[in-house]
């Protein structure tokens, strides 16, 4: 999983370099349209198109019955019962392709969050860095230390939350920075990338040590330091602006991918 995440992370990380000249909506629209085409292809290969078409016709026929026999309760009841049954069959037929697309598209969306869903730390604004441990914090040992790259000021000492096994610091970037924080706690040292100022790009999220959790927090390689569970910098969220409308990137992604699928479904000969 770590290798797969690294590969996908590298591919997604190329987007800001390739489309750095354009607003985020340009690269997002291309990815969304490609996702719509991919959905059509998967749907065509996995679903039973003949059965879906037949069930859709039966649903339409029973809807017509509801209009024709609206003054006959017995016929209405039979049409409603049949409509319910065929709606269930339709949903069952749609379930197989949906499950086939669930995992790969979920992983894609999680990686895209690092580009379109988070913004670099604003210069001059404070932020919080938190490290969570798997073992209790050693209160009798050396104090946890956070070392920041030039351009980032560590404004507070280590604040320990003993019950949650977490240590936090407040930092403040004084200029645009793309560097690495280094944290030493309980004898372990962890490196965490930091992005501040500059143009929107790849902004890493939480780094984790669990292979299972890495599927949903894939922005950085697994933490190898013993006893460290995760490290996180609280970045501000970002919106994608189009003609003055500032919406979450996922809304634009869904709209564009669905439009692409609807416009191209006849070319792919897909029924849904």
Task: Give per-residue pLDDT as tens, 15-51.
Answer: 767 777 778 888 899 999 999 999 999 888 888 888 9
Gyration radius (Cα) of the chain, Å: 25
Closest CA to 114 of 238, 214, 215: 238
Closest CA to 76 of 91, 57, 63: 63
Residues in the chain, total: 272
Starting from the edge strand earliest in sequence, which strands make up the sheet with 177-185, in order? 145-147, 177-185, 188-196
The pLDDT value given to residue 272: 81
- Mean pLDDT of all residues in 1-15: 63
- Mean pLDDT of all residues in 181-194: 89
Q: How far apart are CA 188 and CA 127, in angstroms?
A: 23
CA 58 to the chain's CA centroid: 37
The pLDDT value given to residue 176: 93
Burial (CB count <10 Å: 0-12, 13-18, 19+), residue 162? exposed
Q: How far apart are CA 187 and CA 185, in angstroms?
A: 5
List, for residues 114-151, the tens digit of each pLDDT value.
Answer: 888 999 999 999 999 999 998 888 777 788 899 999 99
28 Cβ contact list (under 8 Å, min separation 6): 116, 240, 249, 252, 253, 256
Q: What is the pTM of this model?
A: 0.80
Are 90 and 48 in contact by the 8 Å Cβ rule? The answer is: no
The pLDDT value given to residue 198: 76
The pLDDT value given to residue 7: 66
Handedness of CA 95, 100, 106, 112 (dihedral sign): negative
Give 202 or 5, the one with higher predicted confidence.
Answer: 202
Runs of H (alpha helix) within the chain: 2-13, 15-18, 24-46, 49-68, 73-116, 249-268
Q: How far apart are CA 263 and CA 181, in angstroms?
A: 47
The pLDDT value given to residue 146: 94
Give 199 or 119, the one with higher predicted confidence.
Answer: 119
Structure tokens, 43: 């749907």
Q: How far apart are CA 229 and CA 164, in angstroms?
A: 11
Q: By mean pLDDT, which of 202-206, 218-222, 245-249, 250-254 is the weakest?
A: 218-222
Report whether pLDDT(80) > 90. Answer: no
- Mean pLDDT of all residues in 176-193: 90
Report whether pLDDT(250) > 90. Answer: yes
- Mean pLDDT of all residues in 84-111: 87
Domain spans, the chain: 2-117+244-268, 127-236
Mean pLDDT, the chain, rounded, equals 86
Structure tokens, 70: 């609206």
């Amino acid at each position: 999983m770590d290798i797969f995440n690294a590969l996908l992370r590298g591919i997604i990380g190329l987007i800001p370099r390739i489309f750095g000249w354009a607003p985020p909506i340009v690269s997002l629209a291309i990815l969304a349209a490609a996702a719509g085409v991919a959905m059509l292809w998967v749907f065509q290969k996995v679903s039973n198109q003949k059965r879906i078409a037949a069930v859709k016709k039966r649903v339409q026929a029973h809807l017509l019955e509801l209009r024709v026999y609206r003054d006959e309760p017995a016929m209405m009841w039979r049409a409603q019962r049949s409509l319910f049954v065929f709606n269930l069959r339709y949903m069952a037929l749609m379930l197989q392709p949906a499950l086939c697309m669930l995992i790969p598209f979920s992983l894609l969306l999680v990686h895209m969050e690092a580009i379109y869903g988070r913004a670099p730390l604003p210069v001059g604004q404070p932020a919080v860095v938190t490290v969570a441990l798997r073992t209790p914090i050693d209160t009798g040992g050396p104090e946890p230390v956070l070392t920041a790259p030039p351009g980032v000021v560590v404004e507070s000492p280590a604040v320990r939350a003993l019950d949650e096994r977490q240590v936090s610091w407040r930092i403040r970037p004084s200029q645009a920075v793309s560097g690495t924080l280094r944290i030493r706690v309980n004898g372990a040292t962890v490196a965490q990338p930091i992005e501040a100022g500059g143009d929107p790009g790849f902004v890493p999220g939480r780094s984790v040590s669990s292979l299972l959790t890495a599927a949903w927090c894939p922005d950085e390689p697994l933490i190898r330091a013993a006893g460290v569970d995760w490290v996180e910098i609280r970045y501000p969220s970002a919106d994608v602006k189009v003609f003055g409308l500032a919406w979450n990137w996922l809304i634009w992604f869904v709209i564009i991918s669905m439009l692409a699928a609807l416009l191209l479904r006849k070319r792919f000969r897909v029924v849904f």
